[in-house]
Structure 1
């Protein structure tokens, strides 16, 4: 099969999702109103609540939710063949991810910009809220610790990406000042910023930065992990307009340019897909495709982390409620396109099937490295970009995706940490909440020794935890839609599917952890399973109990303003 066919079919399917299905969701299900006064205007404070141009907010949202997972997940999942991954990414983006992300953004914006974890308390009770927050906390802990490892490994393996990675911070600071302080023309600022980032890539390709094997007794990777956490902690305390938002926006544009180059190369070179549609010859030890496919691809189709971002930062910056369609749904489409590009690159960027099988010799042997290597081959063949510079562009894409997600993840974990302490009557200021977030992140990262890779210990639980959190978010949306007498089937069907698939995966993994004697994973897996089942049962009880109690969202907002919210 030619990769061009896969690219055209996949892109057309996602465009159908945005132009038709998201329009249905916006008008009939979520009923977005251009007249609704969003939290960014009601509570504008210049730090977290900031009315934001929808293009800028889309850049922040897209790069925050994307991370490395839509690269790593599909790049691993193609071991079962390209067809299952392709179908789950395209259909999942259209009917699952876009609906989920748009819904979480809408629900939060209708409730003072509060997180989906906080909303769980209002709609399913206090105990459900606590358990919801536990799942969110574990997920954010995994994201921050593991993405730090992913970024550090790429900076070590591809030293040409060091200069553009850190130079992007300086570019973002300038962009933030230009947009918000000096009110410069946005298109002009955007063009200058993108050109500056790609100039940094060319510079990085000419001057790679390789650290010595040990620094202050630490490996190069461990040193980068420490630097990344310290940077993310500082960035999380700055006003969103100063660094986080412009960094995500300009990275989003740069990343879309990178994706454009990759797709253009596919259209020009039209490489042959050498991987089988259904792999009947998987390596020994590869787990069964069902249900692992659905939690391995994860962020490429639907992700609970997206709901945390939508309700944690993006909802506080939404200028108009109608912008939620572009920011939320199209943000999911952007991630779907990245996952689709990853599938094409990792199945057609090899000369032969034997070469592909050599890379995919064992489960989880693909990942970001396979995407960079195979993608650089396609860029070279299609656009004659030297393979070294191609690798730099793609590695920088992967690093910046992961870095912007880590930036947002640390900020969100700080929010969640503060909420958890509030449940016990303790109010944390921003510095203490950030300090606790960094200490827990460092503790996990260095729990297995001095190499900083401790976060990888609980990474096997990321996929299932992430999907379970998506199911929990959908359960809150279902309650709100039922009580507001709106169509609920677009939410209920994905909710049932995602919940049972992720529970199935979590139970299978629990058996594996017990057999391998991985007792830490056993304990965490059991806690997450109990929390997820408890929350879903509480949600079902709430649906039954309140199905005949109509909900007026405007009156609901008045209650929250009056201080009667949970």
Structure 2
């Protein structure tokens, strides 16, 4: 099959989803009100609560939720064939991710920009809130520790990406001042920012930077991890308009230009998909497609981490409630389009089936490296770009997204510690600086305590990310569904995804639990068991709460 047809089918379906389905959700389900006073205006403080242009906010939200996950997940999942990955990405984006992301912003916006974790106590119950906070903490811990490892690996493997990656931070700082102080209109500053960013990408191969292999016994990988967490800590304390918003916005524009180049190269070169539609000859040890597909591809179909961003930072910057359709739902469309591009890159970016099989020789292979290699081949064949330049462009794209996710993730982890300080009346923990130190400290403890001197400890618990993340998405959908029921509105648009995710997550957790048992991996076995108990508990809690609310609504109507 030609990749052009796959591209047109996928993008066409997602476009219709935004035009038709998101309009229905916004008007008939959430009933967005342009006159509702958003928390960004009610609690404006110039640091976290800042009313923001919807295009800039879309850039923040989209690049914060994207990270490297919509590349990694699909690039691994195609081992089962490109059809299952394609269908889950497209339909998951339209009917799961868009509703989940927009719904999380709506729920938080209607409750003074409180996080989904904090809302759970009021909407569902205190028991669910306690479970939710634990799951949230685990997800953020995994994301921050693992993305630091992933970024450091890319900076080491592709030294040409170092200059554009770190140069983008200085570009963002300048853009932040220009936008905030209104020195230029958004269109002009956008063009100048993109030009500066791509000038850095072009210069990258000419000025590769490599750290020493060891400094006082610290490996280059560990050096980068320490630098990344030091940067993320500072970034998480700065006002959102100064770095977070402009960095995310310019990265969002950069992604769409990158996607335009990749899709344009596909149209010009028309590569064939060399990977099988359904892989009936998977390598030994590959788990079953159901349910693992639905936890391997999270970002790009539906991801619980999105709910944390939506209710943690995005809702605090929403200028008008009606903006959340564009910010939330279209943000999910952007991520789905990135996952679709990844599927094409890793299935049509290899010359032959044998070349593809050489990469996908066991489950877990592929990832960002396959995306960079396959995508660079497509860019070279379609647009004539030099391979080194194409690889630098795609690597920078992946690293910048992972970096913006780390920025937001650490800020969210700081919020979690501050919320715990509020819940348990620990006054010093409610302050930003101590909470940030706790967030960084726990990440470094996992990175170096569990991983040793190279700082790769985050990878130790990463096998549980997919299931834990999807459980988190189910929890978010539970909060949204409960709010809809209380308001007497149709709940099927969130209830169906909620039930599907709970079934697939519990099924996947059981499979993983047996795997860890047979490997005698008692650490992951114990963590898996904790998450499994939480998933079953939440499923029972969901049934109890929703059944009670439905009965109360029927009784109220009858009287």
Q: How does 1:303-314 map to 2 (within 5 A)?
A: 303-314=303-314
The answer to which of 321-330 and 122-131 deviates more is 122-131
Q: Structure 1 residue 454 and structure 2 residue 457: aligned?
A: yes
Q: Which residue of 2 aligns with 1:248?
A: 248
CA distance in 2, matches of 1:189, 1:550: 51
What whole-Å deviation, never above 9, does each CA across 1:359-410 have from its counterpart, x for those lacking one? 1111111000000011000001111110000000000000011000010000
The answer on whether the counterparts of 1:123 and 1:542 sit within 8 Å (CA) in structure 2 is no
- Of the candidates 466, 490, 496, which is equivalent to residue 493 of structure 2? 490
Q: How does 1:509-528 map to 2 (within 5 A)?
A: 509-528=512-531
Q: How does 1:410-425 map to 2 (within 5 A)?
A: 410-425=410-425
Residue 173 of structure 1: SS of its match in structure 2?
Answer: helix
Q: Structure 1 residue 122 and structure 2 residue 103: aligned?
A: no
Residue 472 of structure 2: SS of its match in structure 1?
Answer: helix
- Of the candidates 481, 502, 513, which is equivalent to residue 478 of structure 1? 481
Q: How does 1:39-54 map to 2 (within 5 A)?
A: 39-54=39-54
Q: Structure 1 residue 12 and structure 2 residue 15: aligned?
A: no
Alignment length (residue pairs): 551
Q: Which residue of 2 aligns with 1:110?
A: 110
Q: How does 1:490-509 map to 2 (within 5 A)?
A: 490-509=493-512
Q: How does 1:56-67 map to 2 (within 5 A)?
A: 56-67=56-67
How much has 1:417 moved relative to structure 2? Answer: 1.5
What whole-Å deviation, never above 9, does each CA across 1:121-169 have from its counterpart, x for those lacking one? 0012222111101000000000000000110000000101000100010
How much has 1:550 moved relative to structure 2? Answer: 6.4
What whole-Å deviation, never above 9, does each CA across 1:280-307 have from its counterpart, x for those lacking one? 1111111111111110011110000001
Q: Structure 1 residue 434 and structure 2 residue 436: aligned?
A: yes
Q: Which residue of 2 aligns with 1:444?
A: 446
Q: Which residue of 1 aligns with 2:468?
A: 465
Residue 453 of structure 2: SS of its match in structure 1?
Answer: coil
The answer to which of 210-219 and 472-481 deviates more is 210-219
What whole-Å deviation, never above 9, does each CA across 1:96-142 have from its counterpart, x for those lacking one? 00000000010100000000011100012222111101000000000
Residue 402 of structure 2: SS of its match in structure 1?
Answer: helix
The answer on whether the counterparts of 1:41 and 1:51 sit within 8 Å (CA) in structure 2 is yes
Q: Structure 1 residue 91 and structure 2 residue 91: aligned?
A: yes
Q: Which residue of 2 aligns with 1:352?
A: 352
The answer to which of 119-128 and 105-114 deviates more is 119-128
CA distance in 2, matches of 1:106, 1:16: 22
CA distance in 1, matches of 2:433, 2:553: 41
CA distance in 2, matches of 1:285, 1:148: 28
Q: How does 1:208-287 map to 2 (within 5 A)?
A: 208-287=208-287
Q: Which residue of 2 aligns with 1:557?
A: none
How much has 1:549 moved relative to structure 2? Answer: 5.1
CA distance in 2, matches of 1:420, 1:283: 45
How much has 1:534 moved relative to structure 2? Answer: 2.2
The answer to which of 121-130 and 1-10 deviates more is 121-130
- Of the candidates 530, 533, 543, which is equivalent to residue 533 of structure 2? 530
The answer on whether the counterparts of 1:11 and 1:337 sit within 8 Å (CA) in structure 2 is yes
CA distance in 1, matches of 2:508, 2:239: 39
CA distance in 2, matches of 1:187, 1:549: 51
Q: Which residue of 2 aligns with 1:542?
A: 545
RMSD, aligned α-carbons: 1.1
How much has 1:536 moved relative to structure 2? Answer: 3.2
The answer to which of 119-128 and 416-425 deviates more is 416-425
Q: Which residue of 2 aligns with 1:188?
A: 188
Q: Which residue of 1 aligns with 2:557?
A: none
CA distance in 2, matches of 1:18, 1:397: 24
What whole-Å deviation, never above 9, does each CA across 1:25-64 have from its counterpart, x for those lacking one? 0011111111111100011000110000000000000000
Q: Which residue of 1 aligns with 2:399?
A: 399
Q: Structure 1 residue 335 and structure 2 residue 335: aligned?
A: yes
The answer to which of 390-399 and 410-419 deviates more is 410-419
How much has 1:527 moved relative to structure 2? Answer: 1.6
CA distance in 2, matches of 1:549, 1:317: 35
CA distance in 1, matches of 2:523, 2:512: 13
Q: Which residue of 1 aligns with 2:34?
A: 34
CA distance in 2, matches of 1:421, 1:537: 29
Q: Which residue of 2 aligns with 1:148?
A: 148
The answer to which of 282-291 and 190-199 deviates more is 282-291
How much has 1:548 moved relative to structure 2? Answer: 5.3
Give TM-score scaled by structure 2 length: 0.97
Q: Which residue of 2 aligns with 1:164?
A: 164
Q: Which residue of 1 aligns with 2:201?
A: 201
Gaps of 5+ in 2: 555-559
The answer on whether the counterparts of 1:465 and 1:528 sit within 8 Å (CA) in structure 2 is yes
Q: Which residue of 2 aligns with 1:560?
A: none
How much has 1:530 moved relative to structure 2? Answer: 1.8
Residue 50 of structure 1: SS of its match in structure 2?
Answer: coil
Q: Which residue of 2 aligns with 1:558?
A: none
